[in-house]
């Protein structure tokens, strides 16, 4: 028994839970005795054979009173090591068992029968669920995936263990799902399910990058003084756009690699590269593009002057010139100072970035108008106030005025003394005559006014022509 005990201890030291256990099923053949014994057993804690032997000896008097002789049972139990586990039931775990039947009856001889019992685990296949990652799958970095397995036809779940190697050559072994780039195996197993035999299932998979594709979408452009700015679209294998893709560009003119993006007119090659990431492989493309000449127009402005005057400043306008550029424009006009039109021609140095168009202007020389001198306008003397005549304005005298020899009516040719040429009753009220203006003075005044008006019209017409 000592050798067996040492063997069991050695096995336990290796973390294997294997130990002998006795299952006791008491059939007393007497309901009163059986119930009495069960009540006694429920009141105490019995973990092994030693506890049972001690209990039976202490209860020998009580059990004897109801006709139970435990002496033979105790003799059998004392043969078994006292620390052997004990259970009052039939075995339900896989294993090999020795069954011993002891007949204890005061009316018969004690009889013992023995037999073996072998309980084995059921054979069941471990299978992954339908929604688990398929064997040999390749998944994108950062993608979610699932591995789940059960014993076939049951709800008993198997455990999953992952093993493999990362892209950096680091071994991986864990029950947690790997997330780094690499190749792995998922193994479903169950060692601690005593109901079933140990079974395994495995699926391999790779966490890797997807293919990418890059395309330059920009084309030719007209010269604008600014560097060429290409545009690109990067997509995955399914044609979906990869957002925020980082792209680098290289430019060539012929076989020469440029330090920066081109600005001047010419033909160039653009190389675009999408750098690899944890999710995608790198991709590269090239495209030939052109920076074409811009259209530029220089127009000389039209100007005018009068004969004998100095030429006005010659000016021009430019359309299509880039903000970063400047041109040295010269304006030349045809020689001549007579009345007429003279062409103004613009010109400037050649610039290979532009298709230049020159539009001429015109200098118009006009005849100078002679404006007549304006005569001085004489001042018109003020007219003196005339004295009020009898019968005009104010309170009038109702006395009839005697007729004078110069007035109509019956005239009296007889002259009155002291009043020659007047009627008899005429009062001596001689009124002074107003000063007279000659016809020549009036004509001179009107002529002066007309000449002034004509001069004003001539000045106004000249201003309009200018």
Which of the pair, 94 or 9, is modelled with greater confidence?
94
Please name the fold of domain 126-208: Immunoglobulin-like (2.60.40)
If phi over 0 gives left and psi between -120 and 50 gives alpha, with beta otherwise, what is residue 431?
beta
pTM of the model: 0.48
User: Domain ranges in the chain?
Assistant: 2-119, 126-208, 212-292, 295-366, 373-378+440-466
Tens-digit pLDDT profile for residues 146-169:
999 988 777 888 889 999 999 889
Tens-digit pLDDT profile for residues 320-344:
999 999 999 999 999 999 999 999 9
Work out the pLDDT band at 4, boundaries 50, 70, 90. Answer: very low
Tens-digit pLDDT profile for residues 358-379:
999 999 999 987 777 666 666 6
H or E segment and range at residue 421 = none
**Through-space distance between the first and last CA atoms of the chain, rounded to whole angstroms:** 141
Tens-digit pLDDT profile for residues 368-417:
877 776 666 666 666 666 555 555 544 444 444 445 444 444 444 444 44
DSSP 243-281: TT--EEEEEEETTEEPSS---SSEEEEEEEEEPP-SSB-
Helix, coil or strand: residue 368: coil
Work out the pLDDT band at 87, boundaries 50, 70, 90. Answer: low
Tell me what pLDDT residue 443 has. Answer: 59
Q: Architecture of domain 212-292 in CATH? A: Sandwich (2.60)
Mean pLDDT for the chain? 77
* CB-CB contact of 374 with 451 (8 Å): yes
Tell me what pLDDT residue 254 has. Answer: 92
**Domain 126-208 and domain 212-292 have a common topology:** yes
**Is the pLDDT assigned to residue 105 strictly greater than 50?**
yes
Tell me what pLDDT residue 84 has. Answer: 76
Q: How does DSSP classify residue 436?
A: P
**Is the pLDDT assigned to residue 121 strictly greater than 80?**
no
Work out the pLDDT band at 125, boundaries 50, 70, 90. Answer: confident
Tens-digit pLDDT profile for residues 32-78:
666 776 777 777 777 788 888 888 788 777 777 766 667 777 777 77
Which of the pair, 63 or 233, is modelled with greater confidence?
233
CB count in 10 Å sphere of residue 191:
9
Tell me what pLDDT residue 152 has. Answer: 79
If phi over 0 gives left and psi between -120 and 50 gives alpha, with beta otherwise, what is residue 254?
left
Average pLDDT in the 349-360 region?
95
> Nearest-CA neighbor of 374 among 460, 447, 443?
447
Handedness of CA 323, 325, 328, 329 (dihedral sign): negative
Cα separation of 140 and 370, whole Å? 96
Tell me what pLDDT residue 423 has. Answer: 43
CATH of the domain spanning 295-366, picked from 3.40.605.10, 3.10.430.110, 2.30.31.70, 3.30.70.920: 3.10.430.110
Maximum Cα interatomic distance, the chain, rounded to a whole number of Å: 219
Tens-digit pLDDT profile for residues 287-309:
999 999 999 999 999 999 999 89
CA 37 to chain centre: 82
* CB-CB contact of 251 with 262 (8 Å): yes
Cα separation of 444 and 131, whole Å? 124
Cα separation of 41 and 39, whole Å? 5
Residue 176 burial (10 A CB sphere; 0-12, 13-18, 19+)? exposed
Average pLDDT in the 242-257 region?
94
What does each C-alpha distance from 310 to 336, 363, 397 come to in angstroms?
12, 12, 79
């Amino acid at each position: 028994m000592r050798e067996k005990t040492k063997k069991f201890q050695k096995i336990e030291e290796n973390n294997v839970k294997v130990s002998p256990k006795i299952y006791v099923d008491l059939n007393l053949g007497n309901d009163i005795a059986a119930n009495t014994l069960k009540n006694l057993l429920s009141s105490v804690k019995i973990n092994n054979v030693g506890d049972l032997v001690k209990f039976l000896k202490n209860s020998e008097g009580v059990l004897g009173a109801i006709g139970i002789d435990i002496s033979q049972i105790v003799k059998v139990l004392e043969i078994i090591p006292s620390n052997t586990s004990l259970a009052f039931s039939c075995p339900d775990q896989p294993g090999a068992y020795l069954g011993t039947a002891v007949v204890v009856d005061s009316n018969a001889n004690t009889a013992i029968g023995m037999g073996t019992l072998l309980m084995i685990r059921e054979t069941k296949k471990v299978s992954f669920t339908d929604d688990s990652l398929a064997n040999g799958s390749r998944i994108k970095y950062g993608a979610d995936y699932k591995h789940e397995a059960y014993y076939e036809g049951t709800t008993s779940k198997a455990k999953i263990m992952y093993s493999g190697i990362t892209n950096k050559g680091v071994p991986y072994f864990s029950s947690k799902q790997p997330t780094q780039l690499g190749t792995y195996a998922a193994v479903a197993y169950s060692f601690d399910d005593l109901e079933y035999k140990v079974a395994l299932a495995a699926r391999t998979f790779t966490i890797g990058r997807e293919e990418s594709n890059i395309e330059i979408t920009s084309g030719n452009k007209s010269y604008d003084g600014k560097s060429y700015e290409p545009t690109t679209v990067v997509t995955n294998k399914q044609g979906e756009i990869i957002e925020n893709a980082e792209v680098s560009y290289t430019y060539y003119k012929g076989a020469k690699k440029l330090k920066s993006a081109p600005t001047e007119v010419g033909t160039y090659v653009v190389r675009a590269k999408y750098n690899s990431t944890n999710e995608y492989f790198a991709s590269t493309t090239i495209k030939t593009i052109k920076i074409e000449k811009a259209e530029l127009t220089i127009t000389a402005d039209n100007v005018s002057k009068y004969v004998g005057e100095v030429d006005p400043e010659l000016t021009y306008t430019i359309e299509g010139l880039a903000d970063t550029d400047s041109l040295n424009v010269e304006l030349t006009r045809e020689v001549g100072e007579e009345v007429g039109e003279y062409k103004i021609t613009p010109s400037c140095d050649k610039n290979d970035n532009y298709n230049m168009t020159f539009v001429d202007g015109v200098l118009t020389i006009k005849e100078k108008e002679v404006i007549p001198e304006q005569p001085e306008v004489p001042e018109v003397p003020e007219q003196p106030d005339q004295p009020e005549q009898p019968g005009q304005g104010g309170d009038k005298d109702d006395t009839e005025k005697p007729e004078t020899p110069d007035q109509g009516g019956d005239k009296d040719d007889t002259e009155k003394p002291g009043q020659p040429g007047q009627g008899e009753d005429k009062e001596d009220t001689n009124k002074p005559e107003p000063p007279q203006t000659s016809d020549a003075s009036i004509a001179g005044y009107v002529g002066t006014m007309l000449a002034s008006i004509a001069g004003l019209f001539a000045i106004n017409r000249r201003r309009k022509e200018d």
